[in-house]
């Protein structure tokens, strides 16, 4: 036992606080227990400005585990793909779902909807005809329930805009009458 065995070393993150001994091994810990070793103090000499390594790994580069996995599977891609397809064809539903998810693109979220004969909604009274049209198209199967719901929401916002412009016009008319009278 040397003289320095009883003096605790400082935390490896350079926060300046002493570490404790491990209760399992009895050795000094490198970091304070519960201390996030990646949170270095701002005064830490590890990554000073101008240090070319301070930015971390370049974007798109792979870590050691990914490189090892890729090297392990190198030259086996065709055999593994064939085995996965054969398994899917033999009734493995999970493998079938996996293969189809890789082969088929996901369905588009926003598909344009073409509706012929859609009435124009210029005022609040004509909005009833538009709502009836949407219900009719949904009942005929030209619109799904979610599409009809989305279109109805847009129509509702349009009706609110029409109501607001109607209220503004009425207010302007009232103000004009009051100016003439007063």
Averaged over successive runs of 10 residues, the pLDDT of the chain (182 residues) comes to 62 70 72 55 53 61 82 85 90 88 76 84 84 91 89 91 92 94 78
> 3-state class of 28 per DSSP?
strand
Q: Closest Cα to residue 55, out of 44, 63, 47?
A: 47
Cα dihedral 43, 47, 50, 53 in deg (nearest 10): 180
Q: Closest Cα to residue 15, out of 49, 33, 39?
A: 39
| 76/112 Cα distance (integer angstroms) | 42
pLDDT for residue 1 = 46
Tell me if 9 sits within 8 A of 19, measured CB to CB: yes
Ramachandran angles phi, psi of 28, nearest 5°: -70, 135
pLDDT for residue 52 = 57
Q: Closest Cα to residue 88, out of 99, 77, 104, 79?
A: 99
Cα radius of gyration (the chain): 35
Those residues with Cβ within 8 angstroms of residue 30's Cβ, 6 or more apart along the chain or in another chain: 11, 12, 19, 37
Q: Can you read off the two tokens belonging to residue 79? A: 């055999």
pLDDT for residue 72 = 83
pLDDT for residue 98 = 87
Which burial class, exposed, middle or buried, applies to 143 when counting CB atoms under 10 A from its CB (0-12, 13-18, 19+)?
buried
Domain spans of the chain? Answer: 1-55, 64-103, 127-181
pTM of the full predicted structure?
Answer: 0.41
pLDDT for residue 121 = 84
Give kind and range of the element (H or E) at residue 160: helix 145-181
């Amino acid at each position: 036992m040397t003289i320095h065995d009883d003096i605790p070393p400082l935390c490896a993150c350079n926060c300046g606080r002493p570490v404790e001994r491990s209760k399992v091994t009895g050795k000094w810990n490198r970091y304070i227990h519960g201390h996030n070793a990646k949170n270095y103090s701002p005064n830490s000499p590890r990554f000073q400005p101008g240090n070319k390594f301070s930015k971390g790994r370049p974007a798109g580069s792979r870590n050691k585990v990914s490189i090892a996995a890729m090297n392990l599977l190198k030259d086996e891609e065709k055999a593994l793909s064939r085995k996965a397809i054969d398994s899917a064809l033999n009734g493995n539903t999970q493998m079938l779902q996996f293969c189809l998810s890789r082969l088929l693109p996901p369905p588009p979220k926003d598909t344009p909807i073409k509706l012929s004969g859609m009435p124009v909604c210029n005022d609040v009274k004509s909005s009833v005809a538009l709502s009836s049209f949407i219900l009719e198209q949904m009942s005929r199967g030209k619109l799904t329930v979610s599409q009809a719901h989305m279109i109805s929401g847009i129509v509702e916002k349009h009706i609110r805009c029409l109501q607001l412009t109607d209220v503004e016009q009425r207010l302007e008319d009232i103000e004009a009458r009051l100016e003439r009278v007063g």
